[in-house]
């Protein structure tokens, strides 16, 4: 199918983007890589009479690795994340996750901002960003504000970002300890049946802190504080692993779809989290 007719805008700065959003309200939508939005428009699942292309807007394509934090512009692509050696050294979990998103062609176009702003429970970066405790910077008519990734997702395709706001950057505190991004999918290029992002800090042979988030197992990504807490103070032995998995299973709420029934998804989620914790612990 081809999309319904739309007006195309290509502003050079954020002020130009905000002006179109203000003029057309709900009828206007920004486009980053277009690899989620254009398919939705073609399927007539998204009606966008006024399409604002962000490609020419400056200042949103940089990766800055600082001493205490990392700032990633919203228009940075998954391919940029994979290729940036400074980022791979500082936050290898981002590269590990990006390599499991779609395929190289999609990764050249799909942006970090589009992936986290979309609100699709199948997107990998929202859970990842909750795990690393990222904050999203949005700019709108009332100025700029930061929203914690752990508070951003309200329901499928519904987020704390207002319609007139544009997401400009993602900021991550410098990751510490071991990490793993594990994803089970039906085939290369597919969205997750279940995915787990894990960061663990080790101190004297025990787990000092653990951060765990799951993807595509509820309407929103799930940050499971209880799963992380089940590991803290333990040597991440079999009992602690089982307790973390049990806590995570209490937090997710998968639905049956073409990736399988609920019982299967819970089973896969348990295995994926188990593997992710073991790998993160081995790297901690």
Tokens for 259, please give them.
Answer: 């990736």
Residue 130 as a binder of ligand FAD (CB under 6 A): the answer is no
Contact track, ligand FAD, 132-171, x by CB under 6 A: ----------------------------------xx----
Residue 224 as a binder of ligand FAD (CB under 6 A): the answer is no
Instruction: Identify any residues that bridge with 183 across adjacent strands, giving them in sequence order.
Output: 195
- The binder of ligand FAD chosen from 113, 121, 175, 270 (CB under 6 A): 113
Strands 135-140 and 166-173: antiparallel
Residue 178 as a binder of ligand FAD (CB under 6 A): the answer is no
Contacts of 138 (CB under 8 A, 6+ apart): 144, 145, 146, 147, 161, 162, 165, 166, 167, 168
Minimum separation from the CB atom of position 19 to ligand FAD (A):
15
**Which single residue brings its beta carbon nearest to ligand FAD?**
114
- The binder of ligand FAD chosen from 21, 117, 170, 247 (CB under 6 A): 117
Beta-carbon count within 10 A of 73 CB: 21
Residue 106 as a binder of ligand FAD (CB under 6 A): the answer is yes
Minimum separation from the CB atom of position 238 to ligand FAD (A):
31
Nearest residue (CB) to ligand FAD, 30 versus 132: 30
Number of residues that bind ligand FAD (CB under 6 A): 29
Minimum separation from the CB atom of position 212 to ligand FAD (A):
18
Residue 14 as a binder of ligand FAD (CB under 6 A): the answer is no
Residue 110 as a binder of ligand FAD (CB under 6 A): the answer is yes
Query: Cα–Cα distances in Å, from 177 out to 65, 196, 280?
Result: 17, 16, 8
Contacts of 82-90 with C-beta under 8 Å, sequence gap 24+, read 82/107, 87/63, 90/65, 90/174, 90/175
Instruction: Single out the segment in contact with ligand FAD by CB under 6 A; choices: 83-91, 110-118, 202-210, 234-242.
Output: 110-118
**Spatial separation of the C-alpha atoms in residues 223 and 260, rounded to whole Å:** 22
Nearest residue (CB) to ligand FAD, 195 versus 247: 195
Residue 36 as a binder of ligand FAD (CB under 6 A): the answer is yes
Instruction: Kindly list the residues in this chain that would bind ligand FAD in the complex (CB under 6 A).
Output: 29-37, 54, 74, 101-102, 106, 109-111, 113-115, 117-118, 123-125, 166-167, 189, 191
């Amino acid at each position: 199918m081809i999309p319904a007719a739309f007006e195309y805008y290509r502003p050079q700065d954020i002020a130009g983007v905000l002006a179109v959003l203000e003029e057309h309200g709900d009828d206007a939508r920004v486009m980053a890589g277009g690899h989620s939005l254009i398919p939705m428009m073609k399927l007539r699942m998204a009606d966008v009479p006024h399409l604002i292309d962000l490609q020419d807007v400056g200042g949103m394509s940089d990766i800055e690795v600082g001493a205490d934090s990392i700032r990633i512009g919203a228009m940075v692509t998954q391919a940029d994340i994979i290729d940036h050696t400074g980022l791979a050294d500082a936050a290898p979990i981002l590269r590990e996750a990006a390599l499991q998103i779609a395929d190289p062609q999609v990764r050249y176009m799909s942006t970090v901002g589009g992936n986290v702003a979309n609100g699709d429970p199948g997107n990998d970066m929202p859970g990842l960003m909750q795990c690393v405790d990222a904050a999203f910077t949005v700019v709108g008519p009332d100025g700029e504000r930061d929203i914690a990734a752990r508070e951003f997702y309200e329901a499928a395709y519904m987020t704390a970002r207002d319609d007139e706001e544009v997401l400009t950057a993602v900021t991550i505190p410098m990751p510490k300890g071991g990490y793993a991004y594990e994803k089970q999918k039906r085939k290369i290029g597919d969205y997750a049946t279940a995915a787990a992002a894990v960061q663990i800090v080790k101190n004297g042979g025990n787990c000092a802190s653990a951060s765990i988030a799951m993807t595509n197992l509820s309407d929103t990504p799930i940050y499971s504080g209880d799963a992380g807490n089940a590991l803290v103070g333990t040597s991440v032995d079999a009992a602690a692993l089982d307790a973390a998995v049990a806590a995570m299973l209490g937090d997710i709420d998968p639905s049956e779809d073409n990736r399988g029934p609920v019982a299967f998804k819970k089973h896969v989620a348990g295995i994926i989290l188990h593997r992710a914790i073991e790998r993160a612990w081995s790297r901690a």
